[in-house]
Amino acid sequence: MIISKKLIVLIISLVPFLAFSQVEKTLDKRKKAWIKDSKELTLDQNIRDHYLKKSVIYVNEQAYQGYTSISGQLAVRKSQIEEIKSFKTVEFIKHDEKNIFEIGYYEDRKKTEKQYYLIAWTKSKKQWYRELEVLYPEIATKQKPQIVDAARKKWQKHSNAHQTAKLVSKLYSPTAVYLNNKKITEGTDAITKRYKYMNKPKWQITLTPLKVVRVQPKLVYEIGQYQSSGKGHYLILWQKKGIGKWKAILDFNF
């Protein structure tokens, strides 16, 4: 049997797509397991089944890192978690073979409330874990998510002008959290120091939004791609502070 070159090219092109589809199914199973385990998620073993030693949950503008802190936060939300009936993925964004972003929402049994999640998945020892998990209830709004475009452009402008202090003071909340390489940095002073590499003369960066979701009138989830000396993916939670001022409350990147 002779197989045409076009068919071979088509088959080869479909391989990555089919492989990623399998990963999506695996992550769906992981979320189902998380929901199933929700009644006992505060138990040590169940926590370790879903989170890594330095994983972070971000809720109510606070970052909680590690098994003990995560366990405590899940205990506070136990009754709410137990009401979760289903989930809906809005977008998967693949960084590489071991790191994936996901935006979606959980629905309760009565389908009266949605909890929007944003998960940074990390594969470790053949298993997928939540490296970062963000949870906020949806407050319906007809306003478009593109409202943060101006803030993103200012972020890029200040960064490329090596104005690190101005970038952080103008575009980050005083209690903002920067999470990178499993290290939490809190507050504008600390973030400014950590961003000092932007002051190098040859530093340049481009931010390209890939998925932006307005979860609440004053809260936006954004996942995008950055390109500087290399390529990667970033996550920013934008919150409206004051009249028309959108500021980052959480910044994370792979």
Q: What angle do CA 109, 74, 223 make, to 5 degrees?
A: 80
Region 214-237: mean pLDDT is: 96
How high does pLDDT run on average in the chain? 90
Supply the pLDDT for residue 35.
87
Confidence of residue 141 (pLDDT cuts 50, 70, 90): confident
Matching CATH topology for 5-137 and 145-253?
Answer: yes
Does the predicted TM-score (pTM) go above 0.95?
Answer: no
Handedness of CA 69, 234, 214, 88 (dihedral sign): negative
pLDDT, tens digit (0-9, with 9 covering 90-100), for 172-224: 999 999 999 999 999 999 999 999 999 999 999 999 999 999 999 999 999 99
Confidence of residue 243 (pLDDT cuts 50, 70, 90): confident
pLDDT, tens digit (0-9, with 9 covering 90-100), for 108-134: 888 788 999 999 999 999 999 999 999
Region 4-26: mean pLDDT is: 62
Token readout for 130 is 């939540």
Distance CA 89, CA 118 (A): 10
Domain range 5-137, its CATH number among 3.10.450.50, 3.30.360.10, 1.25.40.10, 3.40.605.10: 3.10.450.50
CATH of domain 145-253: 3.10.450.50
Contacts of 205 (CB under 8 A, 6+ apart): 156, 159, 160, 198, 226, 227, 228
Instruction: Name the residue ranges covered by the structural domains of the chain.
Output: 5-137, 145-253
Kindly state the helix (H) or strand (E) to which residue 59 belongs, with its residue range. strand 51-59
